[in-house]
Chains A and B, each alone.
Chain A
Amino acid sequence: MTALPVAHSTFVIERELPASPRHAYRFWSEAALKQRWNECHPDWVIEESFDFRVGGIEAKRWRMADGSEQTFRALYFDIVPQQRIIYGFDMSFRGQKVSASLATVEFLPAGSQTRMKFTEQLAFLGEADAMRHRIAGTEVGFDRLVEVVASEAASLH
């Protein structure tokens, strides 16, 4: 099957964190503190490594409840303690790459708190087959096609 064209997108999430940038940064840089929030299903993790330094790699492998595996692999490009972290990472699902991203985390002082800005620029490589089937399902099949055609038709005028 031919590969889908790569689609790109960027999203930003900003959060107020209840302590100084110095403290907030520790929750990204120290394994034990990062683990406290980074894991939504600690019981699914079957492999994990965390080497927080420029050039260091963070990797994780999960096995989900249905047995399918997911991986995350990151490389730290730039670290300015208490100010910013830049890393690149890819994610795969059932052995197929789904996306490759560049993430930038900025810590800005806001009074006694921290304004954290997370920016992810991602290249979407296409859904793994299992996910593709779901997308081709009734949820977004014919309806989406009609939508696309309608919007394309409207944009011609």
Chain B
Amino acid sequence: MMEPQQLDRVFIALSDTGRRRMVERLSRGPATVKELAEPVNMRLPSALKHLKVLEEGGIVVSHKAGRTRTYSIQPDAFGAIDDWLRKRKASMNAAFDRLVMAMEEIPEEEAEK
């Protein structure tokens, strides 16, 4: 569970229209500062300040490659594990369906021969 202070930072981060538009843009995929600043008519230093607030709110993460800093939505660890679990369960269930079929194709008596 999130700490109340962390929750405050989330709400502060999302309390600004410009920042919400940045989050919406990032929910479609990673973007550079320039790509985030332009559609909301922000200058780069101002965009960077807003992105810092979003980063402190745990909403976005950034990484630098060469001179370019790219931002993306903070992957939600719980959402990601849910996704992976669904895949794991689906793949094991499908495998066990095939197991039942294989066992029907090769009954006990026949396999003993």
Contacts and interface: CB of A to CB of B under 8 A. Distances in A.
Interface string B34-62: 00000000000000000000000001010
B99 A17 contact: yes
Interface stretch (A46-54, A57-65, A74-82, A144-152): A144-152
A37 B102 contact: yes
Given A9-B81, A17-B100, A149-B10, A142 B92 contact: no
A9 B98 CA distance: 25
Given A11-B89, A19-B107, A127-B84, A27 B94 contact: no
Interface residues of B, number: 49
Contacts of B107: 19
Given A4-B75, A136-B27, A152-B7, A118 B96 contact: yes
Interface in B51-104: 59, 61, 63, 72-73, 75-81, 83-85, 88-89, 91-96, 98-104
A136 B89 contact: no
Interface in B25-39: 26-30
A120 to B, nearest CB: 7
A146 to B, nearest CB: 9
A98 B84 contact: yes
Contacts of A36: 98, 102, 105-106
Given A15-B96, A141-B28, A127 B111 contact: no
Contacts of A23: 103, 108, 111
B30 A133 contact: yes
A133 B73 contact: no
A156 B99 contact: no
B99 A27 contact: yes
B94 A40 contact: yes
Contacts of A27: 99, 102-103
A137 interface: yes
Nearest to A112: B108
B106 A33 contact: yes
Nearest to B112: A23
Interface of B: 1-2, 4, 7, 10-11, 14, 23-24, 26-30, 59, 61, 63, 72-73, 75-81, 83-85, 88-89, 91-96, 98-108, 111
In the A-B complex, the 6 residue pairs with the closest CB atoms: A141-B27, A37-B98, A36-B102, A7-B81, A37-B99, A142-B27
